[in-house]
Amino acid sequence: MTNKMTFKGGVLWLLLPLLFGLVALCIGRFTIPIHDVITTLLMPFGVDITENNEMVIWNVRLPRVLMAILIGAGLAVAGATFQSVFANPLASPDTLGVSAGAAFGAALAILFSLNTLIVQSIAIVFGLIAIAVTFILSRLKGNGNMLLIVLAGVIVSAFFTALVSGIKYVADPQEKLPEITYWLMGSLSGSSWQDLLVAAPFILMGIVGIYLLRWRLNILMLSEEEISSMGMRVTHIRWTVILLATMIIAASVSVVGQVGWIGLVIPHIARAIIGTDYRKIIPVCISMGAAFLIVIDTISRSVIAGEVPLSILTAIIGAPLFAFLYFRKGSV
């Protein structure tokens, strides 16, 4: 009976982002009935469709919804991973400076008018450089314990944030500065199949890797003394999941810019629903993160004639959710 209930729960969590995604495909500058959306998606099987629906759904909305699923799931998983690794409920994808490093790489590439693929590649490279520098700094004194890693991450994040500010200062205020500023606020407006091909391998590799190691995240929540008393050496596990989360964050920032709050709030909601077992938290984060970003992006492109940057909406919605969780439980 328990296994059956668990299976049903897993199916429901799997269907959640798929249902939200299907509804999102209907919504936009003009509404497409859900029947027409389903018909259009069945095109490879010989179903007749209108040319307009085909263009809008396959070339505009579907890549965007798939990107929202990928980014939302990835950032939620990365946030949950960092909260486990650092045993800190306030840890987020920004903790180790990866997001700031990737943002600097993208801003630098935009400043020099490089093409989209190169912008994304440079952002990923600088995200990985950021985590490498964090690792080196944490090892300069001691054996890289959690406090040193967090302090190194703060230093790296502040450094790259300053570099981003420097780029914005020297950028052309008529052309480059607005482009860099808008990109840094996060948007799925330019999502394409090419973007998916660039980001998907890194994000999926990170999600799958963390999912397979999710039971070890429970061990990482223990103190160093408790882990040592069990005769376990978890340094390599800790840095493995950190690297996997880094790939997710760097790839996400490279294609949609900086999107905050998802990696902080979604893991807390997941814990409030299913408890503190990371074997359950990670799958729920995948589902809820994907569904949450689909909703945010749909609001972003529907509420006004233009588009509201994602970071604005995630903060407007995420901050009250976090406050609700805080006052409900008495702590985060």
Domains of the chain (ranges, CATH numbers): 13-329 (1.10.3470.10)
Q: Helical H runs in the chain?
A: 2-26, 34-41, 51-54, 62-85, 98-111, 116-140, 146-170, 176-184, 193-212, 214-220, 224-229, 235-256, 262-274, 278-302, 310-329
Range name among 35-44, 187-196, 206-215, 236-245 with the lowest pLDDT average: 35-44
> Is residue 1 over pLDDT 70?
no
| Pair 271, 322: CB distance under 8 Å | no
Could you read off the pLDDT of 235-276 as tens digits, one per residue? 788 889 999 999 999 999 989 998 989 999 999 999 988 888
> Is residue 101 over pLDDT 70?
yes
Q: Say how many CA atoms lie within 13 Å of 15 toward its Cβ.
A: 6
Looking up tokens 């004194």 gives: 141
The pLDDT, as a whole number, for residue 294 is: 96
| Angstrom distances, CA of residue 175 to CA of 50, 164, 181, 311 | 38, 16, 11, 21
Which pair of tokens denotes residue 237?
A: 């596990």
Q: Which long-range contacts (CB under 8 A, 24 or more apart) does 312-317 make?
A: 312/185, 314/186, 314/259, 314/260, 314/261, 314/262, 315/260, 315/261, 317/261
| Pair 106, 253: CB distance under 8 Å | yes
| Pair 96, 238: CB distance under 8 Å | no
Could you read off the pLDDT of 302-323 as tens digits, one per residue? 887 778 899 999 999 988 888 8
Instruction: Provide the whole-model pTM.
Output: 0.89
Q: CB neighbours of 270 closer than 8 A, spacing ≥ 6?
A: 76, 80, 280, 281, 284, 285, 288
The pLDDT, as a whole number, for residue 76 is: 96
Could you read off the pLDDT of 272-288 as tens digits, one per residue? 888 889 999 999 999 99
Could you read off the pLDDT of 198-207 as tens digits, one per residue? 899 999 999 9
